[in-house]
Structure 1
Amino acid sequence: MRNTLAGGTRTALVLAGALAALGLAGCGGSAGAGTPTPAPPAPAAVLVVKDPWVKAAPAGTMTAAFGVLVNNTAADVTVVGVESAISPMELHEMTTQDGKMVMRPKAGGFVVAAGSTHELGPGGDHLMLMRPATAIEPGDQVTFTLKLAGGATVPATAIAKPFAGAGESYDPGMPMGSAAP
């Protein structure tokens, strides 16, 4: 096999490698050891949003984002808010009140237990987009940021999907089981 590096290029590479080795020897570690100190491991994400998606909807029509919140840490994590540039957002839940399913803001946020998951899905807990300024078409990407207790944030991007589901409506003027116009 023939070496295809020209003499000057080979010399420059050898010199660059030597300089890099000298630079590493002078950084970190204990004095005289000559061994660099390894970088600390990157912190694990406090919370991950797995498979995020949003229900496609016309402009100005309430809709919702879903996915699975994954907590791989040893402590409970509480989602206390959510925001997006395309719409005001709120944390919502579906619950039974006076024998009827109702949607309402989730008091106290979503608690994701240590080492556990919390599903956001149609007919359950979800991230409510109150009044999107523009239509959310199938295939669009919607970015949002979860706000956690303690001040940390978690960015996510959800893909828009057409979804008829069980005919649920996220419009407060429509009874559950009615399709939104």
Structure 2
Amino acid sequence: MRTAATLGPRRRPVALMSFVAAATAMVFGVAGCGSSDPAPGADLSPAATTAAEVVTVRDPWVKAADKGMTAAFGTLVNSSRADVTVVSASTSVSPMELHEMTMKDGKMVMQPKAGGIVIKANSEHVLQPGGDHLMLMNVASPVKAGDELTFTLTFADGKSVQFSAIAKPFTGAGESYDPGHPSMSPGMSMSPST
């Protein structure tokens, strides 16, 4: 008489194994045909998401001003896994530039930010008085405290996002404009209260 130890591996009926194989193939076959699958050749990299889909502006505000220059501030939040670059900003009340503060001849001056404003992956970039900011070069009419302005940020990928900012009074960080910048018209100066 043979014992269980001498019988060798237990064999499953062929019909059961065929059923399991067919069911597995059907499940994987259906899953592969789902409409949520990317198209062949689709870019699945983190950069495939546009900057406008991943950047938000937190706590935006603009400095109230009767004339001349003023600036918009806030925190740019990038929720993607890739760096994003803001290349320009615009609003209906003034031409705009992206600016930074830097040391020049022993004093802090503001100048256009070469290469745009880079927001690192999964990070924030603060726009603030005395630092990077969105510069309104010559407001067409007074921007009074409580006014709401709409801004558009344009990214290196050509996409854009809009945000609104409320104007408020601000005494400033004592900045001065770099008079050597070509966008400065003769006689234009930066108010120390900007």
The CA distance in 1 between the partners of 2:77 and 2:69, in whole Å, is 26
Report the equivalent of 1:70.
77
The CA distance in 2 between the partners of 1:96 and 1:168, in whole Å, is 11
| Cα deviations by residue, 1:67-116 (Å, 9 ceiling, x for unpaired) | 00000001100000011111101000000112110100000000000000
Matched length: 139
Report the equivalent of 2:10.
none
Relative to total residues, which structure has the larger helix share, 1 or 2?
Answer: 2
Report the equivalent of 2:65.
57
Q: TM-score with structure 2 length normalisation?
A: 0.65
Gaps of 5+ in 1: 1-36
Is the Cα contact below 8 Å between 1:169 and 1:179 reproduced in 2? no
Q: Which has the higher mean CA deviation after the structures are superposed, 156-165 or 119-128? A: 156-165
The CA distance in 1 between the partners of 2:63 and 2:122, in whole Å, is 28
The CA distance in 2 between the partners of 1:136 and 1:169, in whole Å, is 20
Amino acid at match of 1:135: P
| Cα deviations by residue, 1:132-163 (Å, 9 ceiling, x for unpaired) | 11100000001110000011101010100001
Q: 2:161 aligns with which of 154, 160, 166?
A: 154
Residues 1:110 and 2:126 are matched in the alignment? no
Larger radius of gyration, structure 1 or 2? 2
Amino acid at match of 1:163: F
Query: How much has 1:169 moved relative to structure 2?
Result: 5.8
Amino acid at match of 2:133: H
Is the Cα contact below 8 Å between 1:56 and 1:162 reproduced in 2? yes
Query: How much has 1:167 moved relative to structure 2?
Result: 4.1
- Indicate the SS of the match to 1:45: helix
Amino acid at match of 1:159: I
Q: Within 5 A, what are the aligned runs for 1:17-96?
A: 45-59=53-67, 61-96=68-103
- Indicate the SS of the match to 1:103: strand
Identity across matched positions, percent: 60
Q: TM-score with structure 1 length normalisation?
A: 0.70
The CA distance in 2 between the partners of 1:46 and 1:89, in whole Å, is 23
Report the equivalent of 1:124.
131
